[in-house]
Amino acid sequence: MKEVTIIGLDIAKNTFQAHGAYQDGGVAFRKKLSRGKVLSFLAAQPLCIVALEACASAHYWGREIGKIGHEVRLIPPIYVKPFVKRQKNDQADAEAITEAASRPTMRYVTVKSEAKQALGMAFKTRDLFVRQRTQLINALRGHLAEYGVISPKGIVHLRRLQNVVEMPDNGLPGAVTELAGDLLKQIAELTNRINALGKEIRCRTSEDTQAARLMTIPGIGPISAAALEAFAPPAQSFRRGRDFAAWLGLAPRQYSTGGKERLGKISKMGQRDLRRLLITGAMSVVRQAARKGTPEGTWLAGMLARKPRMLVAVALANKTARIVWALMANGEVYRNPVSAA
């Protein structure tokens, strides 16, 4: 009697669709399940591969299904889409997931632990607060500019606006002064929350040996190290650092055909937050090198002599990504490069 080897599970809030397939690809069952019956149904099936799309709540279901004993495979939705034959519905999606999981060259997402997801939530929450604070500062600048109070961009210039608002005789209408005070209170509250979350993230990274090793790389601080810990796949998922940099979207996009290679701008694929943090950290290294100088003969000195700073920062972010992979894969500590003779 044939047994099910792959189950494709299309997850949702309340209604789930399961598609079972035999070794030869034949359909074993198509079944609609309610949320409360998913685990009991899978527990009654022989141990096999259970494939899901790496979407919302997928890591939770991956952990729960893994406890039963099944092999869980999370597939990026973009890799599942080509296997949807015609109309999009739950049954077609579950079948497409099963078909994608049967491919030997398919790429998968590692199921995250609760600790990694918690660290990622701390980073995302802090990032959200930073964006909200920026919105409030820009709103305050825009409103006060209507009354002749001008301030440059950036939180470092917020004190200038605060001094004007707090002046007894600032020349502003009473309602404007009151509303501007409310915005300043919201900005101060968000700043306190951002600082508290930053402190929490730094405490977590200080207790993690891998994060401590990552912070030895120039341009990698506690926030970047925490983000790499939370969002980066295991180093074993990539054959070399170049593949990790390409996953981050820091490699050139290809437009090659007919044996002719055409490389464009960076692809901007992969995890957006990690790419942004690596480029921001690289830009700080480039600015420091341009201000204080860098030893002659080094890669960075040669690049700064020939290329614009932003281009050098992106190239340095690519180089940093490869170094990050090497440290995660080999368990080493960063060593400064030796200058060329």
Give 92-108 pLDDT, tens digit per residue: 999 999 999 999 999 99
In a domain, 38, yes or no: yes
The total domain count for the chain is: 3
**H or E element that contains 59:** helix 58-68
- Which of 207, 237, 261 is the C-terminal boundary of a domain? 207
Asked if residue 269 lies in contact with residue 247, where contact means CB atoms within 8 angstroms, the answer is yes
Same domain, 319 and 295: yes
Q: Which two tokens stand for residue 9?
A: 């599970």
In a domain, 336, yes or no: no
Same domain, 203 and 221: no
So what's the pLDDT on residue 1? 59
Same domain, 326 and 223: yes
Give the C-alpha distances (Å, rounded to integers) separating 92 from 31, 32, 77, 98, 130.
12, 12, 14, 10, 41
- Separation of alpha carbons 73 and 62, rounded Å: 8
Boundaries of domain holding 14: 6-101
Tens of pLDDT along 7-53?
999 999 999 999 999 998 899 999 999 999 999 999 999 999 999 99
Tens of pLDDT along 223-280?
999 999 989 988 888 999 999 999 999 988 888 888 888 888 888 888 899 999 999 9
Same domain, 18 and 59: yes
In a domain, 338, yes or no: no
- Which of 65, 80, 101 is the C-terminal boundary of a domain? 101
Same domain, 229 and 324: yes
**326 pLDDT band (50/70/90 cuts)?**
very high
